[in-house]
Amino acid sequence: MKERSLTIPIVIVSVAVPLAVAALILLPHAKINPGFNTSALPLFHAILNSTTAILLLSSLYFIKHQRIRAHRAANLTAVVLSSIFLVSYVIYHSTTPSVMFGDLNHDGVLSADEKLRAGNLRYVYYFVLSSHIILSGVIIPFVLFTLQKAFQEKFIQHKKLARITWPMWFYVAVSGVVVYWMISPYF
């Protein structure tokens, strides 16, 4: 497999996915009916993210102990779970209105009382959410190029990229769980 053979598809995916997710969230659109209740999907997403975080920790342990096959399996499973997350996330956000942090009466508007009750925790939530969203888009090419280098057996380049990719991916996985934990009282 030549390096250039996957560079263009990786770049296309790396640009298309964040743009599609941003459009899904930011642009007004008609909600679709997937034919099933999507209310459990946020919990499912938190489970996928926490499992991905555990797999990434396992992957790091495995490579530090020269367990290459286990390292590879943990990373490939993390990629699969992250892909499932992405599809499920798109389904959820195309079927369900967004939930606002602090919106106790679920009217989609934060009253002065709701803002007061949420307090400064709102700012913590929005910081974690913003950093999670930004890095979720940034991490895509890093994961794909790191994976490509491993498949090409370019292990020195793989290791250099992984030192950047791993902490970002781990942060995205853990912060996804934190975001769920913080917003769940408002579902």
What averages of pLDDT result for each successive group of 10 residues across the chain (187 residues)?
71 90 71 80 97 98 98 98 93 83 88 92 95 95 96 96 98 97 90
- Residue by residue, DSSP assigns 27-81 as S--PPP--SS--TTHHHHHHHHHHHHHHHHHHHHHHHHTT-HHHHHHHHHHHHHH
Enumerate long-range contacts of 153-157, CB under 8 Å, 24 or more apart.
154/3
CA distance 13 to 16: 5
99 occurs within a structural domain: yes
Contact 45, 86 (CB under 8 A): no
Q: Which pLDDT score is estimated for 147?
A: 96
Which residue segment(s) compose the domain that 149 sits in?
38-186
96 occurs within a structural domain: yes
17 occurs within a structural domain: no
CA distances from 8 to 32, 78, 79, 101, 176 (A): 32, 23, 19, 38, 28
The backbone torsions φ and ψ at residue 112, rounded to the nearest 5 degrees and listed phi first, read -60, -40
Two tokens, residue 41: 């999907």
Two tokens, residue 26: 């930011």
151 occurs within a structural domain: yes
30 occurs within a structural domain: no
4 occurs within a structural domain: no
Q: Which pLDDT score is estimated for 1?
A: 45
179 occurs within a structural domain: yes
59 occurs within a structural domain: yes
The backbone torsions φ and ψ at residue 84, rounded to the nearest 5 degrees and listed phi first, read -60, -45
Number of domains present in the structure of the chain: 1
